[in-house]
Amino acid sequence: MKTENQKVEHWNTIYQSKNENEVSWYKDYPEASIELIKELKLPLSAHIIDIGGGESRLVDVLLDLGYTNITVLDISEKALEKSKNRLGEKSKLVKWIITDITEFNPTEKYDLWHDRAVFHFLTAKENIIKYTSIAERAISQNGFLIMGTFSDKGPTKCSGLEIKQYTDKTLKSIFERFFELNNFKYLDHSTPFNTVQNFLFCTFQRK
């Protein structure tokens, strides 16, 4: 397993050396996430956090939709720097947090916690437990958690790192103590390299 410094370096190197559309997880429009978020009918003042947002354009779309309380968190300073540069002036409307999610100490409650392709990098049980307890603490009562991971039919690695695959049942079992599983779907993500990755997206609600 990589040490904390190695993890930070791994991700910073990726974001320094690759263009936005040269990574497998790239999407010019994150339609799966946006569709699920729209279904929640959250007020525009809802507190939304994108965990491991990296260079994702989800924040751009949320700003365009009129959301006013958006936070993007990532372990990689370089990733967030690139997102801020892309957004220009609009980046000032967003809160940016550089931290390993397992070390995150939330100071506010979120009505929506979104994670696409981040949680599945946590392979050690203790880190999975840390993540879920931070999410439990940080998500407001009746708030939502949208979790996108590789499914059991998806890849076993991403960007050279081992990942953990999930099914709706295994993901539910991890979060069910404090979250209700509202719905789930499996979908194929087409990478910029013309390969396909099967994802699982689950929407949970904080009990």
Ligand X SMILES: C[S@@+](CC[C@H](N)C(=O)[O-])C[C@H]1O[C@@H](n2cnc3c(N)ncnc32)[C@H](O)[C@@H]1O
DSSP designation for 193: T
Distance between CA 51 and CA 48 in Å, rounded? 10
What are the DSSP calls for 56-80, one per residue? -THHHHHHHHT--EEEEEES-HHHH
Distance between CA 17 and CA 185 in Å, rounded? 33
Q: Which of 36, 48, 62, 79 binds ligand X (CB under 6 A)?
A: 79
Q: Is 71 in contact with 97 (CB distance < 8 Å)? A: yes
How many Cα atoms occupy the beta-carbon half-sphere of 181 within 13 Å?
17
Closest CA to 150 of 51, 33, 25: 25
Minimum CB separation of residue 138 from ligand X in Å reads 14
Nearer to ligand X, 75 or 202 (CB): 75
Q: Where are the alpha helices (DSSP H) in the chain?
A: 4-17, 31-40, 58-65, 77-87, 125-138, 168-175
The answer to whether 154 contacts ligand X (rule: CB under 6 A) is: no
The answer to whether 136 contacts ligand X (rule: CB under 6 A) is: no
Stretch touching ligand X by CB under 6 A, among 73-81, 165-173, 184-192, 193-201: 73-81
Residue type, 151: S
The answer to whether 138 contacts ligand X (rule: CB under 6 A) is: no
The answer to whether 117 contacts ligand X (rule: CB under 6 A) is: yes
Structure-token match 């099967």, residue found? 198
Q: Which of 49, 101, 145, 202 binds ligand X (CB under 6 A)?
A: 101
Stretch touching ligand X by CB under 6 A, among 38-46, 52-60, 132-140, 199-207: 52-60
The answer to whether 118 contacts ligand X (rule: CB under 6 A) is: yes
Stretch touching ligand X by CB under 6 A, among 37-45, 86-94, 97-105, 166-174: 97-105
The answer to whether 11 contacts ligand X (rule: CB under 6 A) is: yes
Minimum CB separation of residue 86 from ligand X in Å reads 13
The answer to whether 166 contacts ligand X (rule: CB under 6 A) is: no
The answer to whether 76 contacts ligand X (rule: CB under 6 A) is: yes
Tokens of 129: 């437990």
List residues binding ligand X (CB under 6 A).
11, 25, 52-54, 56, 74-76, 79, 100-102, 116-118, 121, 158
